[in-house]
Amino acid sequence: NAGVTQTPKFQVLKTGQSMTLQCAQDMNHEYMSWYRQDPGMGLRLIHYSVGAGITDQGEVPNGYNVSRSTTEDFPLRLLSAAPSQTSVYFCASSTQSHGQGIYEQYFGPGTRLTVT
Amino acid sequence: GIQVEQSPPDLILQEGANSTLRCNFSDSVNNLQWFHQNPWGQLINLFYIPSGTKQNGRLSATTVATERYSLLYISSSQTTDSGVYFCAAAQGSTLTFGKGTMLLVSP
């Protein structure tokens, strides 16, 4: 049981390049989400998904796209990278109750992205 | 959305000391978690505690949901406790983090 995995661990992009951050979980969790962490800001929610085919925006969605075609995978796409997207990105997953919301979140190891 | 505030923002302790970290949240929540982010950046789940009290070794946590706060207690601190402690509160399908408490435990 690997939990939540993320690839790559590190990435350097030039402004305007595109890339996809990968996230996978093997716990059969319906709920998955992406966060970014900037110094002094804590973690901020980018996008989340309550199940395959369903995604929604979080606090800071601009510049990022997501899709959820399977329960296991939730990739995050940067279509045209900007220096403001330099950050550490975390993926998380959890079970959920459709009446009570999300339960305990489990986080991946993170991807450190630098945009020059 | 919900606001999550943590205090203190920074804390320096001598090894062996005890400490209490606080997390206030602005609205009712269905989930409250505490995390430790170690110096390598890994987020480690400490407690899932929407209400009540839990203990795990030298750490314990209490959430008083009706008064909208949670406390994390660290007893007999060790240098390995250093890092940033986050609380995060969930409303529905979104989890909001506080800005964290940076803890440094010196030998």
Question: With pLDDT > 70 as the criterion, what percentage of chain B qualifies?
Answer: 100
Q: What would the DSSP string read from start to end of B37-104?
A: E-TT--EEEEEE-SSEEEEETTEEEEEEGGGTEEEEEE-S--GGG-EEEEEEEEETTEEEE---EEEE
φ and ψ at B65, to 5 degrees? Answer: -65, -35
Q: A60 CB near a chain B CB, below 8 Å? A: no
**Chain B positions in Cβ-Cβ contact with residue A110 (cut-off 8 Å):** 41-43
Q: Out of B42, B43, B45, whose CB is closest to A104?
A: B45
Residue keyed to tokens 């240098």 = B79
Asked if A102's CB is within 8 angstroms of B30's CB, the reply is: yes
Condensed to tens digits (0 to 9), the pLDDT of residues A21-59 reads: 999 999 999 999 999 999 877 899 999 999 999 999 999
Name the token pair of A44: 């901020």
Q: Average pLDDT in the B33-52 region?
A: 95
Q: B96 CB near a chain A CB, below 8 Å? A: yes
Condensed to tens digits (0 to 9), the pLDDT of residues A53-76 reads: 999 999 999 999 999 999 999 999
Phi/psi-derived region of residue A53, left when phi > 0, alpha when psi is between -120 and 50, beta in every other case: left
Q: Out of B43, B92, B98, whose CB is closest to A107?
A: B43
Write down the pLDDT at residue A76. 98
Looking at beta carbons, which pairs linking A38-41 to residues 24 or more positions away fall under 8 Å? A38/A87, A38/A88, A40/B99, A41/B99
* B30 band by pLDDT with thresholds 50, 70 and 90: confident
